Amino acid sequence: MGILRVENLVAGYGDTEILHGVDLDVAEGKVTTIIGPNGAGKSTLLKALMGYLIPRAGTVSFDGDEVTALPAHVRVSKGIAFVPQLDNVFPSLSVEENLKMGGYTLTRELLGRRIALQYERFPRLAERRRQRVHTMSGGERQMLALARALMTEPRLLLLDEPTAALSPRIAAEVFEKIREINTQGRTVLIVEQNAELSLRASTTGIVMADGCKAFEGPADKILTDEKIREAYLGTAKD
Ligand code: ADP
């Protein structure tokens, strides 16, 4: 049984239903990527997993406990963290102040240790600890957003398009970091437009279309099987 289980999840905004009954079973300790066209409901799914959107039907369970209707901060205390695509750092604050915000629930002593741990993980952030975030590059901000989410040492990390608007070289660096974070025992669930790069770092790939799960299988199969590639990545293998 996976660390995250979703059964028949129905969610939407106002009168509009976006997710029409999604099932997921995310394996512990692995990286899973969700791909799919714009508007498929990928971000909506992440919002429902984090508690920013309460579903109309269905259940979300984390580590065997149902969390379907729990607010986001309670899910954080249970070991889930979320890095949204936008507004994932405070631009007017310094690197260190951002990390402190990420660990605001921690004791003073633990806070200091966790900040030190992020500087070990992200040496470039250590060099810039007093720098205001609005003066930093997109890649550095994304690394900071990851570091901030890791302040609570989550068991499950939800990432919404971690490489959006980054150059290929920096996107590859972000994925290298995500792999490293995963090797340290963390389960990672990623929604990503950069399907190739993300699937190469993943065990499982999930394709969403029109608010439903259209396909699920081994990530390498999506990357290498001609028919599946054509159907879901829209390109032949190079
Ligand atoms: P994806 O992440 O796959 O691109 P989204 O989950 O962002 O898809 O969006 C799915 C649908 O939900 C889209 O039609 C989008 O316009 C709609 N939607 C997203 N956020 C909101 C919102 N806050 N209010 C109303 N509709 C929304």
Residues near 5 by Cβ (< 8 Å), separated by ≥ 6? Answer: 24, 25, 26, 59, 60, 61
Paired tokens of 235? 């390109």
Portion of the chain with pLDDT greater than 70, in percent: 98
Phi and psi, residue 25, nearest 5°: -140, 100
Q: Using CA atoms, how far apart are residues 225 and 222, in angstroms rounded to an integer?
A: 6
Q: Using CA atoms, how far apart are residues 50 and 13, in angstroms rounded to an integer?
A: 16
Quickly state the pLDDT bin for 236 (edges 50, 70, 90): low
Closest CA to 27 of 189, 226, 191, 237: 189
Pick the more confident residue, 230 or 209. 209
13, 22, 49, best to mutate for ligand 1 pocket (most atoms within 8 Å of CB): 13
Side chain identity at residue 100, one-letter code = K
Which pLDDT value is given to residue 238? 52
232 Cα–ligand 1 center, Å: 20
Give 195-223 pLDDT, tens digit per residue. Answer: 999 999 999 999 999 999 999 999 999 99
4 Cα–ligand 1 center, Å: 22
Q: Using CA atoms, how far apart are residues 187 and 166, in angstroms rounded to an integer?
A: 23
15 Cα–ligand 1 center, Å: 13
Atom of ligand 1 nearest to the CA of 191: 2
Nearest CA owner, ligand 1 atom 5: 41
pLDDT (average), residues 21-40: 95
Portion of the chain with pLDDT greater than 90, in percent: 89
Paired tokens of 188? 């990672």
Which pLDDT value is given to residue 228? 84
Quickly state the pLDDT bin for 70 (edges 50, 70, 90): very high
Cβ 117 vs Cβ 180: under 8 Å: no
39 Cα–ligand 1 center, Å: 6
Which pLDDT value is given to residue 235? 64
Binding pocket residue ranges, ligand 1, CB within 6 Å: 13, 18, 36, 38-44
- Is residue 170 helix, strand or coil? helix
Q: Using CA atoms, how far apart are residues 29 and 223, in angstroms rounded to an integer?
A: 21
**pLDDT of residue 99 exceeding 70:** yes
Give 123-180 pLDDT, tens digit per residue. Answer: 999 999 999 999 999 999 999 999 999 999 999 999 999 999 899 999 999 999 999 9
18, 20, 160, best to mutate for ligand 1 pocket (most atoms within 8 Å of CB): 18
Q: Using CA atoms, how far apart are residues 49 and 97, in angstroms rounded to an integer?
A: 27
Q: Using CA atoms, how far apart are residues 171 and 167, in angstroms rounded to an integer?
A: 6
